[in-house]
Amino acid sequence: MPGRNFLFVPGPTNVPERILRAMNRAMEDHRSSAFPELATGVLRDLPQVFKTTAGQAFLFPATGTGGWEAALVNTLSPGDRLIAPRYGQFSHLWIDLAQRHGLRVDIIDVEWGEGAPSDRIGEILSQDKQHEIKGILIVHNETATGVTSDVAAVRGAIDAAQHPAMLYVDGVSSIGSIDFRMDEWKVDLAITGSQKGLMLPAGLGIVCASPKALAAREHAKCPRVFFDFGDMIRANATGYFPYTPSIPMLYGLRESLDIMSEEGLDNIFARHHRLAEGVRAAVRAWGLKLCAKAPKWYSDTVSAIMVPEGTNGADVIDVAFRRYNLALGAGLARMAGKLFRIGHLGDLNELMLLGAIAGAEMAMRDVGMQVTPGVGVAAAAEHYRSTAAPLAPRAAAGQSPDAQQQPPGAKPSSPPAPPRAAVRA
Ligand code: PLP
């Protein structure tokens, strides 16, 4: 199909050209004397994305699922008790992984479309006088439902109960896109993958561990080999890995960290929020609802859009892909067919997103949904136009060619008129 594929699943996300170029290189010896420069630089800078100075970053050639596993097996023993709210497919899968490692998980089932119930978590912890509960598992951004939970509120509940349980947070679809504060929220284990906010291909499972988590390692009895923090700490200390690392991914990560530091984390979060607000304006204009039940749960990285009774969300996704070369996210597990998802994270801008909104709108009409042509695009476009940042004055290089062709000695013409002030209709 001519033209480009519009990739709007909530991960993997678009990989910027700069990262693709950085990754496109010949293999090299990962035991050479030159290698540590790359590895140590990346491991030094990565914690900034988690907003931690106390935490230690671990890079596994894996995915987010590997990060989940590494966080648990390095800090817990079989039979240890955890609590975990379940409000979507990813919180469900993490619980399943914990159970398969012999951990006892008290599941708090929450309606899909809501997030972590910090009050309930606080109550359970207050009742646990013996401090049997060793950890709380929270999925910060439930990618299946487009719900962001309030991790600070969960931390508040843990502290109010004066409970020593560790806080495990899945930030796979939030870290690097939605504000995440590992140190401030006293997160003990924070997990992400490379293929979302970091704008890389899938292939890295990334964990940041607090000093408390690193200390818990000493007594944790869950078997571990590939994901052992101890082996990693020893090898990383000299700038190496305990096994063959993915060298293109490390070069890609180096570039990703540089790109993120150039834009600035807070600007990245603001961009994601603004882009997400445009998508939400489109959803309202279509007369549709998000799976997220209330604005406080709205995710700035993914919108899960409910389709009406009688429409199969999978048909919207299929038509969008086959007819318009647009990849939308599917409804997962109990949400299969009930919704489609627009991922809006990573290397994105307004017009890219308007393309996705237009394609979704066309596909919805193609499958027979009653959507007025253009309303979603118009609503999002107006949001982007009316919230655009002020334009900087044009540089002198933007002068008209006439000005440059004046005869020698002629007085320079007046500078070009300043651009229209910021459009804030
Ligand atoms: N957690 C969340 C919130 C996710 O969105 C995903 C994947 O989309 C995962 C965990 C699992 O990550 P991976 O597919 O990289 O193993």
Average pLDDT over residues 165-191: 98
More confident residue, 419 or 19: 19
Q: How many CB atoms lie within 10 A of CB 43?
A: 20
Average pLDDT over residues 368-383: 97
Q: What does pTM read for this prediction?
A: 0.93
Residue 418 pLDDT: 39
Average pLDDT over residues 23-38: 97
Q: What is the pLDDT of residues 398-411, one digit of tens each?
A: 555 554 444 444 44
* pLDDT higher than threshold 70 for residue 189: yes
Q: How far is CA 167 from CA 72, 135, 213, 293, in A?
A: 11, 6, 9, 25
Alpha-carbon distance of 139 to 96, in angstroms, equals 14
What the block records as the tokens of 372 is 């007025």
How far, in Å, from the CA of 330 to the mean position of ligand 1? Answer: 14
- In the chain, % of residues over pLDDT 90: 92
Q: How far is CA 356 from CA 53, 274, 360, in A?
A: 38, 16, 6
Q: What is the pLDDT of residues 61-70, one digit of tens each?
A: 999 999 999 9
* pLDDT higher than threshold 70 for residue 412: no
Residue 397 pLDDT: 61
Residue 1 pLDDT: 82
Q: What is the pLDDT of residues 310-336, one digit of tens each?
A: 999 999 999 999 999 999 999 999 999
What is the separation of C-alpha 46 from the centre of its chain, rounded to a whole number of angstroms?
15
In the predicted model, what is the mean pLDDT of the chain? 94
Do 226 and 70 meet the contact criterion of CB atoms below 8 Å apart? no
Listed residue (338, 258, 332, 351) closest to 10, CA to CA: 332
Residue 409 pLDDT: 44
Residue 398 pLDDT: 55
Alpha-carbon distance of 46 to 399, in angstroms, equals 42
What the block records as the tokens of 96 is 């399943």
Average pLDDT over residues 217-233: 98
Which of ligand 1's atoms lies nearest the C-alpha of 93? Answer: 10
How far, in Å, from the CA of 90 to the mean position of ligand 1? Answer: 7
Do 257 and 42 meet the contact criterion of CB atoms below 8 Å apart? yes
Average pLDDT over residues 279-303: 98
Q: Spell out where 183-333 has E strands.
A: 189-193, 205-209, 302-306, 326-330
Q: What is the pLDDT of residues 237-281, one digit of tens each?
A: 999 999 999 999 999 999 999 999 999 999 999 999 999 999 999
- In the chain, % of residues over pLDDT 70: 93
Nearest alpha carbon, ligand 1 atom 14: 64
Nearest alpha carbon, ligand 1 atom 13: 64
Nearest alpha carbon, ligand 1 atom 12: 64
Q: Is the CB of 182 under 6 A from ligand 1?
A: no
Query: What is the bridge-based pairing of β-strands 326-330 and 166-170?
Result: unpaired
DSSP state of 112: B
What the block records as the tokens of 51 is 């907003």
What is the separation of C-alpha 294 from the centre of its chain, rounded to a whole number of angstroms?
20
How far, in Å, from the CA of 173 to the mean position of ligand 1? Answer: 7
Residue 395 pLDDT: 84
Which of ligand 1's atoms lies nearest the C-alpha of 144? Answer: 5
How far, in Å, from the CA of 87 to the mean position of ligand 1? Answer: 14
Residue 200 pLDDT: 98
How far, in Å, from the CA of 12 to the mean position of ligand 1? Answer: 10
Average pLDDT over residues 113-122: 98
Q: Is the CB of 124 under 6 A from ligand 1?
A: no
Q: Is the CB of 170 under 6 A from ligand 1?
A: yes
Q: Is the CB of 299 under 6 A from ligand 1?
A: no
How far, in Å, from the CA of 410 to the mean position of ligand 1? Answer: 65
Which of ligand 1's atoms lies nearest the C-alpha of 195? Answer: 15
Q: Is the CB of 64 under 6 A from ligand 1?
A: yes
Q: Spell out where 51-110 has E strands.
A: 56-60, 81-86, 104-109
Residue 114 pLDDT: 98
